Structure 1
Amino acid sequence: MRRFNYGALFSVLFYVAFLAGCAPLAPNVDPPSEYTYIIGPGDSIEMFVWGNPEVSRTIPVRPDGKINAPLVEELPASGKTPFQLARDIEKELAKYIRNPLVTVIVSGFVGPYSEQVRVVGQAANPQAVPYKENMSLLDLMIVVGGLTDYAAGNRATIVRTINGEKQQLRVRIDDLLEDGDITANVNILPGDILIIPEAYF
């Protein structure tokens, strides 16, 4: 029977913690200006066609990012804004309805993976969170329920794509949550990954 190599696992965890300790502090960058929600798989779409209630209905965005509705089949929805999707639906409906006017309302917000903020490691409730305008680190920690008793909050890092390259930036969650140091509250950007390691002891 093959034995698990705990020494190798400890070495890997120590190396990851070492890299986190060397990471620069995350700067408090400005949030995206005029952020517009992007539709993703799992979202629920309310398609309202003015003057045509028999065509209007609520439909889900399938895992492949497409929607099916009356007179609209296999239409890509993921990656579009509600305004863009409404115009695409109008083009499809125009084959059957004269001058259709469509409004798209999104509910059950999930968003595409590229826009979600992921929290992994020693959070009370690790999860993927839809990005919200002006989201901060404190907002994110409230959503995931804070830290576990075993978390090393000041060694947490954000993996962020900057100019096409992934960079690891350190954040000070312990200082923010335990000491109330508001200078540790940095802005979160779409697609950020927050990694919260376990304390050594």
Structure 2
Amino acid sequence: MSGAVPTYHQRVAKEKRALIVAAATALFLELGYDRTSLARIAESSGVSRATLFKQFPSKAALFDAIVTESWSTADEEDPPPAGNVVDGLGIIGRRYAQLLGRAQMTDLFRIVIAELPRFPELAHAQFARGKMPYFESVRSYLLAEHEAGTVRVEDADLAATQFLGMISNYVFWPTLLVPGWEVSAERVAQVVDEAVRTIAARYAVHGPGA
């Protein structure tokens, strides 16, 4: 039952899992994926090796958990209802900007970029388990708006890419490349609003949200 209160053991397991993921992320950033052993992660997180191996039998499984939790808000919130593309994209855009502003998201991309030459499977995991499911949720929303008659979108993949790209290119990617790059909350809101207006100007039809 989804509404059941977690037992003591479930709460402890969840807390230990969070400690393991945090320790692994820090060590992957400091030492690199290859040089970080599960034993070292167990020591750093303060759990036994048996506890770690029970939850994560391999580094690949642990990295998958980092990806999943970094993109977790994509699964926790329902998409806005179709009917007003301006309001709907505004909600999606604010959620996306907030997601990209999380420290664990920046850490995830730094790990993937640093290890890409030797471990391309990490990039595949990041794309397949994180980026792509989130992208698909935006694409599905645009298709729902198309069906509702608020937009005319012939290429939903392109439209979703355009919208997300306008936001990430300003609020996220510079954080990986420009030391000290920071974007105020007011500026983030402006970036999202402009992205919404641009997509609406390109795709909205007369009616709700146009």
Task: Judging by fraction of residues, say which structure has more helix.
Answer: 2
Larger radius of gyration: 1
Query: TM-score, with normalisation over the residues of structure 1?
Result: 0.28
Task: Judging by fraction of residues, say which structure has more strand.
Answer: 1
Query: TM-score, with normalisation over the residues of structure 2?
Result: 0.27
